[in-house]
C-alpha cells in the first residue's frame, strides 16, 4: 500500500492513479496557490495567479513533448468523446471522406460521429479477431481529409507500436490512454487529443496538440466553442476553463520532467508491462488477450482458464488492496492499467498473486 498504508494499488483504467507528489502539491494548492492566500479552486481564471499556472502548464507540456510553435497547445473542458464529434465537424464535410483505423470500441465511437458529418472509409479493422491485433496494413482512400487512429485501445489492451504509415493526409490521434507514456510522435500529425484522466490529470478536461495550419483549415460555420481556432486564438479562455485541471496537468508534466522525461517514462513502462506479459507467456492458466506485436504497455488484458478462477483472483486482489482489475465487459477477465504513475512494485504484487494462484 502507498504512503501511510492508506492507499490501494489502483489499476483503474481511468480516472486513474496519479503521482503521490502531484496529489500532495494539489492538496497544498487547494488551500493556497503559490503563496497567494487563495486556493486554486477559488482563483479567477482572468487573474495573474492563474495566468502563471496556464503559462507554466503550457511550457511544461511543450518541454515534455518537444512541441514546437507550429503546434498549438489547447485545453478543452470536455472529454475525448467530445472530440469524436468536434473533429469531423471541424474538418469534414458532406462530400468529403475521412479515413479511420478501426481498432476497438473507441475508434468505433469516433467513426459513428464522423458518419454524421461526411463519408467514412475504414482503412483497417481488427474486428475479425475481437480486436486482439492492431492491423498494420492500411488501405487509404484516394484523398481523405484526415486519417484518424486510436494510439492505445484502452478496452482491448492493444497499442500502435508506431503511427500508421504512408497516410496521404494529416494524422489525427486519440491518445487518451497513452499520451506522454513514450516520446510523442508529432511528425505527420495534424492533431492529437487526449482526455486527461489517465496519464495527465483529472477528468473533465482534454489536451489538444494541433498544428496551427491544420486548425486554420477547419470549418468556420460552427459556434465558437466548437471550433479549435477559438481555443487557439483565445488561449483556451473563450469561457472559463477547468482551472484545477490545468493546474494538475502542469504538475503531472513537472513530475514527468523531474523523473527523466518521456524516454524514461517509456523505459519504465516497458519494464512494468514486461513483468506482466512474461508472467502471462509462462502461465498455463492466465492468457493475454492482445497478440504479442499489438500489446499495450498501458492496459494489460487477460483471461483465466475459467471464469471462476478469474473471480477468485479478482476477490483476492481486492482483499489485498489491488483495486480496479475487472476487465471491460466486452473482453471480460482482468485488465491491469499501469499508466505512468503506477508503481513497478505494484505490478510485482499482481504477478506474485497470479503465480500463487497458478501454483
Ligand atoms: C482511447 C479512449 N478514447 C476515448 C475515451 C473517452 O474519453 P472520455 O470519457 O473522456 O470522453 C476513452 C476513455 O476511457 C479512451 O480510453
Residue-wise pLDDT for 126-166, tens only, equals: 999 999 999 989 999 999 999 999 999 999 999 999 999 99
| Cβ-contact 194, 64 below 8 angstroms | no
Report which protein residue has its CA nearest ligand 1's atom 7: 80
**pTM, 2 dp:** 0.97
Give residues (CB < 6 A) around ligand 1.
14, 79-81, 106, 150, 154, 174, 176-177, 195
Cis peptide before 209 (omega within 30 of 0): no
Active-site annotation, residues: 106, 174, 198
Which ligand 1 atom is the nearest neighbour of the CA of 153?
1
CA 243 to centroid of ligand 1, rounded, Å = 21
Report which protein residue has its CA nearest ligand 1's atom 4: 80
Report which protein residue has its CA nearest ligand 1's atom 5: 80
Which ligand 1 atom is the nearest neighbour of the CA of 82?
11
Higher pLDDT, 330 or 316: 316
| Dihedral sign computed on CA atoms, order 116, 119, 178, 299 | positive
**Mean residue pLDDT across the chain:** 97
| Cβ-contact 315, 303 below 8 angstroms | no
Q: Nearest 5°: CA angle at 252, between 246 and 255?
A: 145
Mean pLDDT of the region 90-110: 98
* Cell reading at 259: 523523473
At residue 284, φ and ψ (nearest 5 deg) are -100, -10
* Residue 65, number of CB atoms within 10 A of its CB: 23
pLDDT score, position 136: 81
Which ligand 1 atom is the nearest neighbour of the CA of 197?
10
pLDDT of 2 above 80: no
Q: For residues 259 and 245, give the distance between their C-alpha atoms in angstroms, rounded to a whole number.
A: 21
pLDDT score, position 1: 46
Cβ-based neighbours of 76, under 8 Å, separated by 6 or more: 82, 83, 205, 206, 208, 231, 236
pLDDT score, position 72: 98
pLDDT score, position 5: 63
Please identify which residue in the block is written with the cell numbers 507467456.
281
| Dihedral sign computed on CA atoms, order 278, 280, 283, 288 | negative
CA 146 to centroid of ligand 1, rounded, Å = 20
pLDDT of 355 above 50: yes
Alpha helices in the chain (DSSP H): 20-31, 48-65, 80-91, 105-117, 212-216, 228-233, 243-258, 261-281, 307-319, 344-358
Q: For residues 223 and 250, give the distance between their C-alpha atoms in angstroms, rounded to a whole number.
A: 29
Amino acid at each position: 500500500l502507498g504512503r501511510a498504508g492508506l492507499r490501494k494499488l489502483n489499476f483503474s483504467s481511468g480516472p486513474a492513479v496519479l503521482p503521490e507528489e502531484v496529489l500532495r502539491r494539489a492538496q497544498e494548492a487547494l488551500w493556497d496557490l503559490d503563496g497567494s492566500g487563495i486556493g486554486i479552486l477559488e482563483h479567477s481564471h482572468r487573474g495573474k495567479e492563474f495566468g502563471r499556472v496556464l503559462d507554466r502548464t503550457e511550457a511544461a507540456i511543450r518541454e515534455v513533448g518537444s512541441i514546437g510553435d507550429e503546434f498549438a497547445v489547447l485545453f478543452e473542458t470536455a472529454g475525448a468523446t467530445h472530440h469524436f464529434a468536434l473533429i469531423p465537424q471541424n474538418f469534414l464535410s458532406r462530400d468529403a471522406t475521412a479515413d479511420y483505423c478501426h481498432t476497438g470500441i473507441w475508434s468505433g465511437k469516433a467513426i459513428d460521429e464522423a458518419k454524421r458529418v461526411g463519408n467514412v472509409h475504414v482503412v483497417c479493422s481488427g474486428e475479425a479477431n475481437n480486436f486482439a491485433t492492431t492491423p498494420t496494413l492500411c488501405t487509404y482512400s484516394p484523398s481523405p481529409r484526415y486519417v484518424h487512429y486510436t494510439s492505445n485501445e484502452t478496452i482491448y489492451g492493444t497499442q500502435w507500436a508506431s503511427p500508421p504509415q504512408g497516410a496521404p493526409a494529416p494524422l489525427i490521434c486519440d491518445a487518451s490512454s497513452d499520451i506522454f507514456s513514450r516520446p510523442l510522435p508529432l511528425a505527420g500529425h495534424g492533431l492529437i487529443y487526449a482526455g486527461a484522466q489517465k496519464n495527465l490529470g483529472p477528468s473533465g478536461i482534454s489536451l489538444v496538440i494541433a498544428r496551427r495550419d491544420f486548425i486554420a483549415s477547419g470549418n468556420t460555420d460552427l459556434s465558437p466553442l466548437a471550433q479549435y481556432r477559438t481555443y487557439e486564438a483565445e488561449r483556451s479562455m473563450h469561457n472559463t476553463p477547468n482551472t484545477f485541471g490545468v493546474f494538475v496537468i502542469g504538475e503531472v508534466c513537472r513530475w514527468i520532467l523531474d523523473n527523466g522525461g518521456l524516454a524514461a517514462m517509456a523505459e519504465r513502462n516497458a519494464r512494468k508491462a514486461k513483468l506482466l506479459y512474461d508472467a502471462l507467456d509462462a502461465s498455463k492458466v492466465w492468457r493475454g488477450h492482445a497478440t504479442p506485436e499489438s500489446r499495450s504497455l498501458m492496459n494489460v488484458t487477460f483471461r483465466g482458464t475459467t471464469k471462476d478462477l478469474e473471480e477468485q483472483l479478482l476477490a483476492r486482489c481486492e482483499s489485498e488492496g489491488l483495486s480496479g482489475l475487472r476487465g471491460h465487459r466486452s473482453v471480460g477477465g482482468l485488465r491491469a492499467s499501469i499508466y505512468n504513475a503506477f508503481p513497478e512494485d505494484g505490478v510485482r504484487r499482481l504477478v506474485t498473486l497470479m503465480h500463487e494462484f497458478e501454483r
